[in-house]
Structures are given as structure tokens and as C-alpha cells.
Structure 1
Amino acid sequence: MHDATPLIATIVGGLVLAFIFGALAHRVRLPVIAGYLVAGVVAGPFTPGYVADAHIAQELADLGVILLMFGVGLHFSLKDLLAVKNISIPGAAVQMGVATGLGMLLGWMLGWPMAQGFVFGLALSVASTVVLLRAMEERRLLDSDRGRIAVGWLIVEDLAMVLALVLLPALAGFLGGNAGGAATPTTGELVQTVAITIGKVVLFVAVMLVIGKRAIPWMLQAVSGTGSRELFRLAVLAIALGVAFGAAHLFDVSFELGAFFAGMMMGESKLSQQAAEETLPLRDAFAVLFFVSIGMLFNPHILVQQPWLVLAACFIIIVGKSVAAFAIVRLFGRPTKTALTIATSLAQIGEFSFILAGLGVSLGLLSEEARDILLAAAIVSILVNPLLFVALDRWVAKHDADAPDEHPDMRGHTVLVGFGRVGRRVFAELQATGAPVLVIETDEDAVRDLREHGGADIVIGNAAAAPVLAEANLGSARALIVTVPDPFEGGQVVRAARAARPDLPIVARAHSPDCVSHLAGLGASEVVYGEQELARSMFEAAQPRPAHGGH
């Protein structure tokens, strides 16, 4: 029997441990992310037993971030990005400045060199792409105004980090670190470095807009013409990873930014939805490995050695950044709900912080103790962030500024969960009968469309949450129709509704026989299997029709 290679051992060990501890976390009602992080600690070098290859784990995690940003780009357009530039650019700049300043203040109080305080504060200022986007995807907020602002904010932070990672080695000697033996650059050389970096980013964006916008959709369409799903899937992955790799090595742009633009250009194709579905399983798997890799970096001893410094860093991340982001969004006249969502999204740090910290240590600008404090604070902030989102969900359910405070005491109404492609058709059929309808939806654009249609009461929030179901007056409803496509998300709604009212007729949708069994087991009265209904309709359409007037 061959010994497992480090790559295979890392993938298998990471996924198995993540599953075990993720399931345990879910069992005790903790975020599954907590389980993934614990799995990383168990597989890391600071605990006894199995030790995974940290370098390989980090590279696998980078793949996850690339695929995640590619998926976000698929749902984003240049118009969406430009629509939020007026708030995302100044907002991200000010928020990063506040967090960096607070980090420098903490460093000054501890007697750190100013350069160390600056690098430490800068690392605290940038949020984790994976954590933010997973939270947004779970709540279906990526296509909402709040989601677009958050993604735009991320892009600005990404660009700022690209610039920082290029400039730090050039500035290391000037800041008191080591520049690998290189001489400290003159002001002219420094200006030239900044200009070249910005020029490369501009050139990359121009190439993507001029060439990529035409070439990528054309390539996807050509591959789809072969009729091979395998080739189509391979083409999607090749474009996502190829553009990300090329962006990093040809233009010195980050992998994440390259993948985002690749996705955004592919979004111009009519096949973008299928491309998103094909990459989803890989995105989820590698996102799990991302959290495992973070756990592997964590040294638990720092919590005993420097507990107050870890708490101070956590305060800057969770409170300082959040307050700054909330104030900025409110100053731009956005609703409180939007400001709270952005503030909660940014109350954590992740991958760019680790890259910056590692570079700071190698350049002599950051001590190893400061790096360990940073990593510990990152772990804590990632663990706390899902809990903050739960609190936000409850606040939104009770105080949504856009929804009416009270809904009429409806009776005999149908509760419709989801206003997507299927939900819109079901809504139209229900409206045609004149029956009262109440729609539960989280997407702000869908809610706006609903209000334009009229004829329906609306509850904004997660339909699996008890306060949302209570606001929908489920006890007096005639039926519940769950149109969300994801079987796990739909299953949560079915289970919560069945627990709230055991006799309620519940209709859900499924895409496979296994999903049918899953939803039925959770309490759905009837599950509509899409392919089965399609086959029945096609069969009926193919039957010979009786001749007219032949008797």
C-alpha cells in the first residue's frame, strides 16, 4: 500500500476532519465554520497527532477564494460595480484608514515601532472575502443593493492590498525593516513603483473590458455547441483559473481580482447561470479547506500569553471597523438596515491579513508575536461573525425599515417563499385566481418588483426564522409554497413551518429523487420534481389529439 502524498493526505484529512467537527458544531447549534476552524487546529502543528501540510493547505485555500470570487463575478456586472462606486471607494478608504489608525494607536500604547503598528493596523483593516461572501450567499443578498455595496467595498480593499503588497518591500528599508539587501528607494523611484503598479491594474481592466468581454462569452458559447457537459465544465474552470493566474503573473494583480473580472466577463454570456452551477460544488469544497487552513495557523498558546492584546485587536476588528463602516454608510444616506449589514460583513479579517502579516515578518516590519496576535484575533472574529449575522437577521425581521410594521390579519392566504423565476410564475397563477398571497423574500430587488406588481403582502427575511413565519401569520394560512431551488435551504423552511403548524399543506420543489425524499422527510405534503413534471408534460403533448367533426 502506497503512502499518501502530502497533497492527498491534506485534502482527505482536511475534508474528513471538517466534516466531523462541522457536524458536531451543527449538533450543538454553533456555526459550522466553528467546526471547520477547530478541524484546522487539530490538523495544525500546535496540537498533537496528525499534522497536515500547511503550505499545500494554503494553496488549496487560495483555489477556493479564486473560485468564490469567480462565482461572485458571474452575478455581477460592470454597471453594478459602477453603481456603488460613490459609496464603496470613499467608504472602504475611510474605514481602512480608521482601522489602521486604531492599530497604530494600540502599537504606540505598547511601545511598538511605528512601522509595526502601521502593518498591524493595515492587516486589521481588510475583511475576509470568503467569510463575507458566504454570509451574503446564505442570505441571498449578493444581488441586492446591500450585497453590491459589500462586493464593491471588497474590490476596493483588494486593490488597496495589491498596492500595499507591492510597496511594502520597496519601503521596508525606509520604515526600519530589511529590504533583502536592497537599497532604500528614492522618492522618484517610489513614485515610479506606484505609477507602474496602478498602470498594470488599469491595463488589466482595459484588456478584460475590450478583449475578455467578447472572447470569454464567445468561447463559452462555442464549447456549449459541442454538446459535451464535461467540456463545458472544464472550459468554465479553465477560464476562471487561467485568467486569475494570468492576472497575477502578467499584471501583478491578485488572483482574487483576476477571477472576479473573469466571472464578470463570463456573466455577459447567456450561459452564465449554468457556469455558476457547474462551479458550485468545487467552490464549496475549497471554501471548507480555506477555513481549515486558517485553523492550522492558529497557536492556542497566544490566548494564554497575551489575552488582553488579542481582545484589543478583536475590539478594533469587531467594534472599531463596524462603527466606522456604519457611520460612513449612514452619512451617504443609506438605510439603517444597509449600514448594519455592511458593518456586520466587515467585522472580521482573513486571507489578505495573513498574507500581509507574513510579508511583514519576512521584511522585519512585524514581530512574530504581533503576527500570532493577529491570527488569534482573526480566528475569534470569524467565529463571532456568524453570530453577529444571526443578531442582524433578528433585527431586520423585527425592524425592517422598508416593510410595514404590521400586516393585515390575513386568513385563507397562501404563503409563497421566494420570488425567483419559479416563484414569479406561481405568484402570477395565484393572482389570477384572486386568492390572497403573502410573499416571503430576502432580495431587495425582488421586493421592489413585488411592490410594483401589487396585490401581495410582503415579509422581508429568512423564511426559516420563527419571527418571520409568525409575521406571515402561518396559523391562518391556506397553504405554504416553497419555491427556493436549494434543497437544504428549502428543507429548513419546510421543517420550521411544519413545526409551527403540523396540519399546514406544504408544497416544495426538487431537482432529484433524493431531494424529494429529503423534503418529504422534513414535512412537505407534496414535492414537485421538476424533471418528472417536464416528462409528463412532454408525454401529454406528444399524444395524438382526437379529430374534430368525425362523428
Structure 2
Amino acid sequence: MPHADSLILTLVGGFVLAFVLGMLANRLKLSPLVGYLLAGVVVGPFTPGYVADTELAPQLAEIGVILLMFGVGLHFSPKDLMQARKLAVPGAIAQITAATALGWGLGRLMGLPHVEAALLGFALSVASTVVLIRALEERKQIKTEIGRIAVGWLIVEDLVIVVALVLLPLLIGAGSGEPAAVWGQIGWTLAKVAAFVALMLIVGGKVLPWLLVRIAHTRSRELFTLGVLSIALGIAWVAYEVFGASFALGAFVAGLVLNGSPLGHNAAERSLPLRDAFAVLFFVSVGMLFDPTVLLREPLAVAAVLGIVVIGKSVAALAITTLFRLDRATSVTVAASLAQVGEFSFILAGLGVTLGALSRETHDLILAAALLSISLNPFVFALADRLGGRPTPPTPHPA
């Protein structure tokens, strides 16, 4: 592919195929994410025909991760978390622990090293917020008690992933080199990350809202949108280049700071179109890395990994919610909400490959589980309705 037109061809191939296959998935009552991932498989190097630029696509995907994490920060709701904290915090931590242990056990049976087996389980332990919110909106449960519990649960999972994205490179690096030097480097990096977060919350909490207000006074939609994106990308770069943190953490903290500002809602609204566009490119890029022949080469391994996601995580969630004495309908709905993996699993798997802690084969197993679990999630919800009885809204009394 000539270098001069690789960007255009990659964007055209990614967006057009993602749109077509996303529409097809939507017609089949599946999440559009399935279509986006399949679009990446189609333009990837493991299938015949047109192949997108495999060096350019990951860079575009990195922008997608930055904007995705920025959006998570913008929509982070301490109120939702506090409302469901008594169940969401211990429940999410217990469920992550259980799924990680199951994944580690499966990985060891497959002959994987301890670190790779644990990373496999950890990547399978977190569910997709995008898939969950779409399912709850379709069922008109987003504002119900069930919705608050499920969303609060995933907020805790998101926070765990944010911390993991900082610690994972440090923990994997601790396996080599002099222990004193390695742990000294870990301490220094954590100190820099803490300094960045403190600086953003204290100084950024005053400067960024003031800056947004000044930009809004220009009454230019274009400048306001550009300002929001500049803040997201600029702070992500500062976190990476100056403080040694990840792009994702910088973007998340930037979104978190703007979330509490008077114009936070406007910032979220203005950045949404580009966030959605680059998020699509992120999923397409993930699909490009997936070798679909793993479904034929390792069908038992794929089935076992999928079983952890759909059955293992659901059973763990049912046990936890039953322990907290939730009613059956709420328990099975929360369990169905967690019976899938998505964007953060992709980010963790990609980071594991980059760090050399995860093989391509294991990476493909995680992507296969994600693709299949997202596709099966509507059917899991339908089964949950039959097992638990979907709660119906109360009938209003006549005046």
C-alpha cells in the first residue's frame, strides 16, 4: 500500500465495513461491537483480500483508547457508586477475584506460565460497560435499582482496570533485574503517578473548568469541541511523557476533573462524535489482531474460556448477590450483565502482548471469548428473564 494513501484507505475500509457489519449486527439484535470487531477481522492480515495498514491502525486505536478513557472519566458517577457501594465494591472485587482464579486455573491446565495464566483470568474478569448500558437501556432498566447495582458494579471494575493499567507494567517488570532496583523504580513511578493525579485534582480542578468557561465565551462550537479534545489528548500526553503514567490514566483523570465542572455535560456532548468514531476504530483494530482460525485450532480452549465468562462469572455473581440477600430477579439480571467481556479486556490483552507477558495464542482466546460472549449476551438476558422473572414497572393508580 503506498504510504501516501494508507491513512485514507485504512479509515475508509475501517469505517465503511464497521458501519455495514454494525448495521447487520444491530438487525440481528446483537451489539454493534460484534460488527466492528468482524470488520477488523475482514480487513486484517489473517483473512484474504484487502489488508489495512497494520502499523497505522494501532496508532489510531491508541487515540480511541484515550478518548474512550476520557469518556469513562466524564461519565464517572460518584453518586451511582455511593448508592450501590455496599454491594458493588465487595461484589465487584469478589467477582474479579473469582474469575481471575478460574482463568489462572484454566491457564495452568493449558500449560501457561503463572503470570500469563493470571493475566488471562484478569482480562476475562471485567465486563463491557458499553454492552451493559445498551442492554439496560433496551430493557428500560437503566434508572431502576437493578440498573444502579449493575452500573455501580461496573464502575468499580473500571476503577480496578485504571489502577491495573498503571501497575501491570511495573509488576511484570519486577520479575527481572535486581529486586531493590526494580522495587525502587516501582516506588518512583507510583510517586510520579500520585503527583500527577494530585496536580490534576488540585490545580487542574481549578484551571480546566476556568479554561472551558473562557472557551465557551467565544460562542464557537468548533473552538469548544477542539478545546475539549485538546485537553483530553494534551493531558494524556503530559501524563505519559512527564509523569511516566499511561495515556489511558491521563485521559481518565482529565475526564474526571471536567466531570465535576459546570460545563462537564457540554464537554461530554461535544466530544461524543469523535469519541464514538475513534472507539469504532479501536474495535476494528482489535479485530485486525484476531486470528479467527483459533476457533478451529483450539475449539476446546475457546469453549473453556467462554465458559468462564458466561458461566463462571455468572455463578460467582449469583453467589455474591444471594449472599447479600437480593431478590432472584435482581440477582439473575446482574449475573447476565457480567456474562461478557469487552473493551477493557482488549486493552489489558493488548498491553499484555506489548509487555511480552501474553502470547498471541492466549490473546486470540481472549478476543474469541469477547466476540462470542457479546454475541450471546442478549440470549443470556433472555434466559435470565425466564429464570428470575423480569420485574414489571408498577401500574400507576388512577387519580
**What TM-score does the superposition give when structure 1 sets the normalisation length?**
0.63
| Structure 1: distance between partners of 2:141 and 2:220 | 30
* Conserved 8 A contact 2:290-2:364: yes
| Structure 1: distance between partners of 2:131 and 2:65 | 10
| Structure 1: distance between partners of 2:79 and 2:117 | 38
Larger displacement relative to structure 2 (135-144 or 35-44): 135-144
Equivalent runs, 1:170-249 vs 2, <5 Å: 170-171=174-175, 173=176, 183=177, 185-186=178-179, 188-249=180-241
Equivalent runs, 1:260-339 vs 2, <5 Å: 260-332=252-324, 336=328, 339=331
| Structure 1: distance between partners of 2:369 and 2:216 | 46
Q: In the alignment, what sits opposite 1:483?
A: none
Paired residue type of 1:150: L
1:93-149 CA deviation, whole Å, 9 max, x = no partner? 322222221122213323333343223223322334554555567668389623233
Distance 1:206 1:329, change over 3 A: farther
Paired residue type of 1:96: I
* Conserved 8 A contact 1:65-1:130: no
What is the deviation of 1:4? 5.3
Paired residue type of 1:21: L
Distance 1:372 1:222, change over 3 A: same
| Structure 2: distance between partners of 1:20 and 1:160 | 35
* Equivalent position to 2:366, from 370, 374, 399: 374
Q: In the alignment, what sits opposite 1:348?
A: 340
| Structure 1: distance between partners of 2:13 and 2:243 | 35
Q: In the alignment, what sits opposite 2:172?
A: 168
- Is 1:148–2:147 an aligned residue pair? no
| Structure 1: distance between partners of 2:348 and 2:362 | 12
Larger displacement relative to structure 2 (338-347 or 51-60): 338-347
- Is 1:26–2:26 an aligned residue pair? yes
Larger displacement relative to structure 2 (48-57 or 242-251): 242-251
Distance 1:384 1:61, change over 3 A: farther
* Conserved 8 A contact 1:298-1:379: no
Paired residue type of 1:141: I
- Is 1:68–2:68 an aligned residue pair? yes
| Structure 1: distance between partners of 2:3 and 2:156 | 46
What is the deviation of 1:305? 1.0
| Structure 1: distance between partners of 2:126 and 2:95 | 9
* Conserved 8 A contact 1:220-1:271: yes
Larger displacement relative to structure 2 (314-323 or 22-31): 22-31
Equivalent runs, 1:399-418 vs 2, <5 Å: 399-400=390-391, 403-404=393-394, 407=395
Distance 1:397 1:119, change over 3 A: closer
> After TM superposition, where is structure 1 displaced by more than 6 Å over at least 4 residues in a row?
none
Q: In the alignment, what sits opposite 1:11?
A: 11
* Conserved 8 A contact 1:73-1:260: yes
Q: Which runs of 5+ in 1 are unaligned?
A: 174-182, 411-435, 437-454, 456-551
What is the deviation of 1:360? 4.5
- Is 1:106–2:112 an aligned residue pair? no
- Is 1:127–2:130 an aligned residue pair? no
Higher strand fraction: Structure 1 or Structure 2? Answer: 1
What is the deviation of 1:294? 2.3
RMSD: 3.3
What is the deviation of 1:323? 2.3
**What TM-score does the superposition give when structure 2 sets the normalisation length?**
0.84
| Structure 2: distance between partners of 1:315 and 1:285 | 32
| Structure 2: distance between partners of 1:3 and 1:56 | 10
* Conserved 8 A contact 1:9-1:52: yes
Q: Which runs of 5+ in 2 are unaligned?
A: none
| Structure 1: distance between partners of 2:49 and 2:134 | 30
What is the deviation of 1:85? 5.1
* Conserved 8 A contact 1:76-1:264: yes
* Conserved 8 A contact 2:31-2:131: no
Q: In the alignment, what sits opposite 1:451?
A: none
Q: Quick check: which has more Rg, 1 or 2? A: 1
| Structure 2: distance between partners of 1:213 and 1:363 | 33
Distance 1:250 1:149, change over 3 A: farther
1:174-197 CA deviation, whole Å, 9 max, x = no partner? xxxxxxxxx3x32x4454444444
Q: In the alignment, what sits opposite 2:162?
A: 158
SS of equivalent to 1:48? coil
1:472-521 CA deviation, whole Å, 9 max, x = no partner? xxxxxxxxxxxxxxxxxxxxxxxxxxxxxxxxxxxxxxxxxxxxxxxxxx
| Structure 2: distance between partners of 1:17 and 1:149 | 33
Tell me the percent identity: 50
* Conserved 8 A contact 1:92-1:157: no
Larger relative contact order (Cα-Cα within 8 Å, sequence gap ≥ 6): 2
* Conserved 8 A contact 2:329-2:388: no
Paired residue type of 2:251: A
